[in-house]
Amino acid sequence: MENVDVAVDVLRQASGALHLRYRVRAPSSALRVPPPVPPERVDGLWRHTCFEVFARDPSGAGYVEYNFAPSGAWAAYMFTAYREQSGVGSDPTLGIAVSSTPEGFILDARCHPFESTPGGPRTLGVSAVLEDAAGRLSYWALFHPRDQPDFHHADAFALTL
């Protein structure tokens, strides 16, 4: 995808909550961005423009995944091991806000992935799926451990907090 740039800032608050700020720089006609909807849990957000964070305690194989859409929709999933989903999550501390900039937009997301296991270091995989104007998807991450994008791969958890 040409003339597109994605950056993210991650802040872990004392409570354990995460604040993620995704900044997308792209011509307004370059991306398909879903229209606003009431905040609700929706599966399949990765089929269109969305932002994701995967979090785990490095001592275990389990992890959680959050998806945030610019529409305000979100999803949360729990895994016991690589792609072994153990349930869906709900998070009352979740929040998504989107604002336009002259260069693109900013998505701010808050979640609490460490609520059940507070403290200690965590590893994160931070990623984005962008849909271009023609409907093609591109996959962005801090690290792609394989030729094909795989945000669930253990080596994609490239950020330690």
First to last CA, the chain: 30
Domain extent, residue 119, equals 5-160
Give SS3 for 127: strand
**Residue 117 scores a pLDDT above 60:** no
List strand residue ranges (DSSP E) for 2-116, in order. 5-12, 18-25, 50-56, 63-68, 74-81, 84-88, 95-100, 104-111
Q: Say which residue, 78 or 61, is predicted with more confidence.
A: 78
pTM (predicted TM-score): 0.91
Q: What are the tens digits of pLDDT across the range 78-112?
A: 999 999 999 887 765 678 999 999 999 999 999 88
pLDDT band at 15 (very low <50, low <70, confident <90, very high): confident
Q: What are the tens digits of pLDDT across the range 67-83?
A: 999 999 999 999 999 99
* CATH assignment at residue 37: 2.60.40.1190
Q: What is the rounded average pLDDT of the residues 17-33?
A: 91
What pLDDT, on the 0 to 100 scale, is given for residue 32?
92
Q: What is the rounded average pLDDT of the residues 56-76?
A: 88
What pLDDT, on the 0 to 100 scale, is given for residue 92?
58
Structurally, the chain folds into a number of domains equal to 1
Q: Compute the CA torsion angle 34, 51, 73, 136 (nearest 10 deg).
A: 30
